[in-house]
Amino acid sequence: MKSYTAQRRLSLILRYILLVILAIVWIFPIVWIVLASFSYNDTGFVSTIIPNKFTLQNYIGIFTSKQFPFVNWILNTTFVSVVSATLSTLVTICVAYVLSRLRFRMRKPFLQIALVLGMFPGFMSMIALYYILKSFNMLNLFGLILVYVGGAGLGFYVAKGFFDTIPTAIDEAAEMDGATQWQTFIHIGLPMSRPIIVYTALMAFIGPWIDFIFSGIILSSSGNAKSYTIAYGLYNMVHATKGTSTMYFTQFIAGCVIIAIPITVLFVIMQKFYVNGITAGADKG
Amino acid sequence: MFKRKAKKPKEATYREVWQHGDLATKLSFFIMGFAQLKNKQWVKGLSFLITEVVFLIWMVFSGVSALSMLTTLGTIKHKQVVFDKTQGVYITKMPDNSVVILLFGVLAVILVIAMIGLYVANLRSVRHLYALKRDGEHVPTNGEDLASLLDKKLYGTLLAIPIAGVVAFTILPTVYMISMAFTNYDSKHPIGFSWTGFAAFKNVLSGDLAGTFFPVLGWTLVWAICATATTFFFGVLLAMLIESKGIKHKGFWRTIFVIVYAVPQFISLLMMAQFLDLQGPLNTLLLNWGWIAHPINFISASANPMVARITVIIVNMWIGVPVSMLVSTAIIQNLPQDQIEAARIDGANAFQIFRSVTFPQILFVMAPALIQQFIGNINNFNVIFLLTGGYPMNNNYNGAGDTDLLVTWLYNLVFGQTQRYNASAVLGILIFIISATVSLIAYRRTNAFKEG
Amino acid sequence: MKLIKKIALGSSAVIAMTLLAACGKSSSSSDTSSKKVSGDVKLWVDTTQVSYYKTIVKNFNKKYPDVNVKVTQSPNGSANAKTDVGKDPAKAADVFEVPNDQLGSMADQGYINPLSPDATKTVKSDNVATSVKGVTWKNQMYGYPFAEQAQTLYYNKSKLSAEDVKSWDTLTSKATLATDFTNAYNFYPIFFSAGTNLYGKNGETLKGTNVANQKGINALTWLAQQKSNKNVMQTSNTLNQLKSGNAAATIDGPWNTANIKKILGKNFGVAKYPTIKVGGKNVQMKAFLGIEAFAVNSHTPTKDQKAASTLAQFITNKQSQLIVYKQSGQIPVDKSAQKSSTVANDKAAQAIMTMAKPENSVLMPKMSQMATFWNLSAPLLNGSYTGSIKASDYSAKLKTFQDAISKKN
């Protein structure tokens, strides 16, 4: 008969083994992607786990490429991300705060309309968005920012859930002291919402780095590769030409790895905020 | 919520306002802002007045024509090729551009509705002024009006810009797309199209696309259920595993899994497609180890539909489980321990505790988020588009493959070979109806569950 | 639309090489109008072609200094010209590259202008007849042809002899052939080998498709047989299979010639398609013939129309075609360019030109129904190959297919 501690130990060992296996399964494809970015390959297809030939050429190539202004793409995307994260956060926090803490006549209808609008597939509006931006002559990075920020007014659920968890007594106390609602918002609401501001900003910041559909529709007409964002630029690199994509394929992977690193690091550092955001939103839905 | 008590004068009826009001009040029914100006509310009065003037000018110069064109979507429907002698080349005379006509027509309708709303607001304000004066109350001054924008009317101040954004970038495009479903906007009528009522709906529901629509709809629902359920369930299990007693460096383990989610999907999924290819690394590896005799056809165009669908759900778990693991972790850490302790004292084993205490509690907290996820999965464009592109091919479908969801099929109808814009709009509307129905039922159920 | 699987149907593809040194003296084009041509023109070419088209435009500006040309990359490559231009014709380039199977629908939709009588005359006299036919729709020309594309057979000389590759059966008894059955561009032409027509003999007859018969069934049967042939490999990445030595032959087009040369090195072999045994008869395996052309956007302002068509004509003249050939291996369609010594000594070019002959290939139809055709043919071919369509269902499936692509839509 096994003693209790031996049983405990066995269970722990088994759990460790399971965890290690799972971790390997999960991380393996990612490791393979990174390895592939260091491989020499001219067929556009990576069929081996370990590259046949290691090379740094892909990374050198992508930064010095004449056809694909990779550095411009990074700068563009950074610009779009920073601006749209700032504006989106502002918009989202304002909307969430108002809908959560203030009471007014149109509140319920607004919530319902927002819920309904959120259920239309975003792709449906692509053609219309294109023409709206075109009529303002905004088929450029600024137009892209507008699109990202324009949708932010509807992405308030998580932030609203967070505000709902803050007791209203605080607001009422401030009101008793004669503070206007504006002062309450600035001096009490905003400082308390730091975690949710971080979460919203993080999400809005990552968006432009991974969106290749909207950016493609809005930026592609210019035909000027220097004006692309990274996601569309890379996507275009392997989709726009036949026969040549094979030459650039490993460069494409290298480019992807380069942008994946900061996003991944950012996300991992901020995962605490991310969890807080999601669970806050999940509390009341 | 505790509300500041403000003495409210008894409101008047509009009839009374019209009968007893002075000239300025009466004029306000036609010229907005008059009464406010008379009462020295310059800011309010002027904004009403200027808005009305601008609106009328716009109406005369473009609004009326935009609205009237909306009925026909342009009169010239066919192109004409003529020879231009001066240049010595052929010139094509274009039909009226219905896309632009429709867009500006919709915009005009929205503006008119907004104006009506403003007019009502103006009337309310006039009525309020009248009541204040009738009862000899204090009429707010300019300064007070402006100050209220930061206090009682703060909601308006904070919502103004977001609402403008939502109208321009969500409502306008959505209304435009809905109207597109009632036209014959397709590759045959790419520039000049007309209203055709429900013809496009008929095509999708009983015409040449019906044979594709219903099977794809079925798979979309199956996919949404499976994708949501698997990521949630295994996420919870993984969270429990990492949180269980004795596991060290919990943060490190969590991070390993989170990395997969953090890598942008358009790279992780595109590469996953190669990883799973017939001649890809996974098959090569398994062949070398002697685990399989023939390469497994996971997701290529010639794969078995069942295999491909299962693969897609599993790959989706690879991406989705880390997130729900993170969220579940947060919930598990905050679970009330008393019930668990009580169960343990009653002699329940770990599995029983999980099944009857922990899991229901997590489910309870997560229910709203799960509904959101379900809707998100119905519209999960990325996983399908990047991983399989809708493959394997299905010779019974039209423009879709076995793993295509409604939303990727919608995309193919717009940007693929056939350019059936109206059919894609119909699909969008149907997707909306499905999502709305599902969430309505689900919310009802969860509310009943919460109350019950 | 997978990364590598994506088939840019009939697309031109181009291997970018180093920047080209300035070219020789410009040839005289037959521009009859003595008027000065001026205007602003935007030109769309594929991403990797931008560099040498800039060179070609430099030559153009020597002759027409008053035309201001802007060379930019098209959004999604010439294979998607139809959708790129269709998204917003007013924003699209004035002159853009388009594969000929999209010309019909673009002409019907009013996106492109017919050629002027002068240009028609010049293009007709300079270029080979098939290319002229390839850009003619309803008796009017809608594009300036500059290259022809037909797939051909590439093989590894160390494993297969020139004699082996004359017949499909011999070839696949000696070595492995890697190809992609999910691509209708590769295997629909089996129907031509079996003796059927697509949209009639001229490719412009709506009801002219005749596959719902024994000949069509023979073609599908041939496809089904390939599944059990050990030496026919289904793959989405033929180049990789050639490189790794898993396969010794493949069928591919001029856009990949340079890639395959790099992979096979001194073992690079190229030949016309082999013969295949369909319905008990040995017949020539056929290919699709595609013509790459430049077309003029009909939304271009009238004042720039002349400049745009002049540019389109210049960048498809003999001198420009040869530059494109040198840079990318695209096979010229200019009669004298085809006879020039460099082309004559190029085995791959010769094989593709042989494939372009009427007995070896069929010109891609320009019907707007081609959109439906591409959508429906691939699953049909692939289903027969994998066996998911059973032999007993062939005739029903073919009937459905034929009816669907013959609809007036």
DSSP A165-217: HS-THHHHHHHHTT--HHHHIIIIIHHHTHHHHHHHHHHHHHHHHH--HHHHH
Cα distance from C210 to chain A (closest Cα, Å)? Answer: 32
| Beta strand spans in B307-346 (E) | none
Q: Which two structure tokens, joined as six digits, stand for B47? A: 């904004």
Given C73, C236, C256, which is nearest A243 (Cβ)?
C256
The DSSP 8-state label assigned to residue B280 in this structure reads S
Residue of chain B minimizing CA distance to C393: B395
In this predicted structure, the answer to whether residue A86 has a pLDDT above a threshold of 90 is: yes
Q: For residue B17, how far is the Cα from the chain centroid?
A: 43
Interface contact flag, B169 A45, Cβ < 8 Å? no
CA–CA separation, A246 and A109 (whole Å): 53
Residue C12 has pLDDT above 50, yes or no: no
Average pLDDT value for chain B: 87
Q: Tell me: the pLDDT tens digits for B221-261?
A: 999 999 999 999 999 999 989 988 888 888 889 889 988 98
Q: Does B294 touch chain C (CB under 8 A)?
A: no
What pLDDT shows up at residue C35? 58
- Give which of C166, A210, C343 is closest to B381, Cα–Cα: A210
Name the neighbours of B, counting chains with at least 3 Cβ pairs within 8 A. A, C
Residue in C108, C113, C371 closest to B90 by CB: C113
Structure tokens that stand for A157 in this block: 């659920």
Q: What is the rounded CA–CA span in Å between residue A184 and residue B399?
A: 56
Q: Using a CB–CB cutoff of 8 Å, tell me whether C183 touches chain A.
A: no
Among A103-117, A190-204, C310-324, the range with the most confident prediction by mean pLDDT is: C310-324
User: Do residues A26 and B256 touch, judged by C-beta distance below 8 A?
Assistant: yes
The percent of residues in chain B predicted with pLDDT above 70, rounded, is 96
Q: Name the residue in chain B with its Cα closest to that of C372.
A: B418
Structure tokens at B181: 């479903």
Q: Is the pLDDT of residue B444 over 70?
A: yes
Nearest-by-Cβ selection for B155 from A22, A104, A132: A104
CB nearest B267 (choices: A157, A182, A260): A260
3-class secondary structure per residue, C125-183: HHECHHHHHHCEECCEECCEEEEEEECEEEEECCCCCCCHHHEHHHHHHHCCEEECCCC
Q: CA A92 to CA A113: how far, in whole Å?
A: 16
Examine the pLDDT at B449 and tell me if it is beyond 70: no
pLDDT in tens, B329-355: 888 887 777 888 888 888 888 788 888
Contact criterion met (CB < 8 Å) for B428 and A181: no
Chains near C (3 or more Cβ pairs under 8 Å): A, B
Taking an 8 Å cut-off on Cβ atoms, the answer to whether B259 and A263 are in contact is no
Q: Is A260 helix (H, G, I), strand (E, B) or coil?
A: helix
Per the model's pLDDT, the better-predicted residue between A216 and A46 turns out to be A216
Q: Evaluate the CA torsion angle A139, A141, A143, A148 in order and state its sign.
A: positive
Instruction: Tell me if C150 sits within 8 A of C253, measured CB to CB.
Output: yes
B residues 396..435 contacting A (CB < 8 A): 407, 410-411, 414, 421, 424-425, 428, 431-432, 435
pLDDT score of C308 more than 60: yes
Which has more confidence, B9 or A84? A84
Amino acid at position B160, single letter: A
CB of C110 closer than 8 Å to CB of B191: yes
pLDDT at A142 over 50: yes
Looking at the predicted structure, is the pLDDT value of residue C15 above 50?
no
Q: Please provide the average confidence, as pLDDT, over all residues in chain C.
A: 87
Q: How far is B310 from chain C (nearest CA, A)?
A: 18
**Above 70 in pLDDT, residue B448?**
no
Chain C residues within an 8 Å CB radius of A130: 87-88
| Alpha-carbon Rg for chain C in angstroms | 21
Q: HSE-up of B392 (CA within 13 Å, CB side)?
A: 26
> Which chain B residue lies closest to A238 (C-alpha atoms)?
B270
Say how many Å lie between the first and final Cα of chain B, rounded.
26
Whether A240 contacts C77, CB under 8 Å: yes
Tell me the shortest Cα–Cα distance from C392 to chain A, in angstroms.
37
**Tell me: the pLDDT tens digits for A221-277?**
877 888 999 999 888 887 765 656 677 888 888 999 998 888 888 888 887 777 766
pLDDT, position A235: 86
Joined tokens for residue A91:
């918009």
Residue C256, chain A, CB below 8 Å: the answer is yes
Residue B10: the pLDDT is 65
Are the C-beta atoms of B431 and A116 separated by less than 8 Å?
A: no
Residue C95's DSSP bridge partners are: C43, C296
Q: How far is A60 from chain B (nearest CA, A)?
A: 19
Has residue C30 got a pLDDT over 50? no
Distances (CA, A) of C259 to A227, A244, C6, C8, C76: 30, 8, 17, 17, 21
Give the integer Cα–Cα distance in Å for C104 and C112: 10
- For residue A80, with 0-12 CB atoms within 10 Å meaning exposed, 13-18 middle and 19 or more buried, which class applies? buried
CA–CA separation, C165 and C163 (whole Å) = 6
The residue to which tokens 């959109």 are assigned: C371
Coil, helix or strand for C71? strand
Shortest CA distance from C258: residue in chain A: A243
Report the phi/psi class of residue C42: left, alpha or beta, with left for phi > 0 and alpha for psi in -120 to 50: beta
**In whole angstroms, what is the distance from residue A109 CA to residue A106 CA?**
6
Binary contact (C110, B92; C-beta < 8 A): yes
Q: Are C374 and C300 in contact (CB under 8 A)?
A: no
Produce one character per residue of A55-70: b if its CB has 16 or more CB atoms within 10 Å, e if not: eeebbebbeeeebbbb
Say yes or no for a CB contact (<8 Å) between C93 and A224. Answer: no
Burial B335-347 (b: 16+ CB within 10 A, else e): eeeeebeebeeee
Chain A residue with minimum CA distance to B446:
A285
Question: Is C207 in contact with C367 (CB distance < 8 Å)?
Answer: no
B273 in contact with chain C, both atoms CB, cutoff 8 A:
yes
Tell how strand C268-271 and strand C140-141 pair up.
Answer: unpaired
Identify the helix (H) or strand (E) that includes residue C293.
strand C287-296
C94 vs A: CB within 8 A: no
Cβ neighbours of residue B13 closer than 8 Å, sequence gap 6 or more: none
pLDDT for the residue numbered A223: 74
Distance CA B330, CA A272 (A): 9
For chain A, how far is it from start to end, CA to CA, in angstroms?
Answer: 50
CA distances from C354 to C270, C347, C360 (A): 11, 10, 7
Specify whether the CB–CB gap between C402 and C212 falls below 8 A: yes
Interface contact C240-A45, CB threshold 8 A: yes
Distance from the Cα of B266 to chain A's closest Cα (Å) equals 7
pLDDT of residue C277: 94
| DSSP conformation class of B354 | I
Residues 6+ apart with CB under 8 A from A62: A68, A70, A251, A254, A255, A258
Give the integer Cα–Cα distance in Å for A45 and B277.
10
Would you state the pLDDT for residue C8?
36
The structure tokens listed for B121 are 């607001």
- C17 alpha-carbon distance from chain centroid: 21
Could you count the other beta carbons within 10 Å of the beta carbon of residue B414? 22
DSSP E strands in C16-150: the ranges are 39-45, 67-73, 95-99, 136-137, 140-141, 144-150
Per the CB < 8 Å rule, is B407 touching A120?
A: no
**Closest of A262, A258, A253 to residue A38, by C-alpha:** A253
Rounded CA gap, A37 and A47, in Å?
13
Higher pLDDT, C249 or B133: C249
Closest CA to C247 of B287, B304, B278: B278
Cβ–Cβ below 8 Å for C47 and A43: no
Contact status, residue C59 vs residue C320, Cβ threshold 8 Å: yes
What are the tokens at C275?
Answer: 């013969």
Q: How far is A66 from chain B (nearest CA, A)?
A: 23
By C-alpha distance, the chain C residue nearest B280 is C237
What value does the mean pLDDT take over residues C249-269? 91
Chain A hits for C7, CB-CB cut-off 8 Å, are 242
Q: Is the backbone peptide bond immediately before B392 cis, with ω within 30 degrees of 0?
A: yes
Three-state secondary structure of B151-218: CCCHHHHHHHHHHHHHHHHHHHHHHHHHHHCCECCCCCCCCCCCECCCHHHHHHHCCCCHHHHHHHHH
- Please judge whether C4 and A45 are an interchain contact, meaning their C-beta atoms are less than 8 angstroms apart: yes
Compute the distance between CA of residue A174 and CA of residue B20 in angstroms, rounded to an integer: 42
Amino acid identity, position A6:
A
**Would you say residue B288 has pLDDT above 70?**
yes
CA distance A129 to A119: 17
The pLDDT score that the predictor gives to residue A284 is: 43
Residue B111 has pLDDT above 60, yes or no: yes
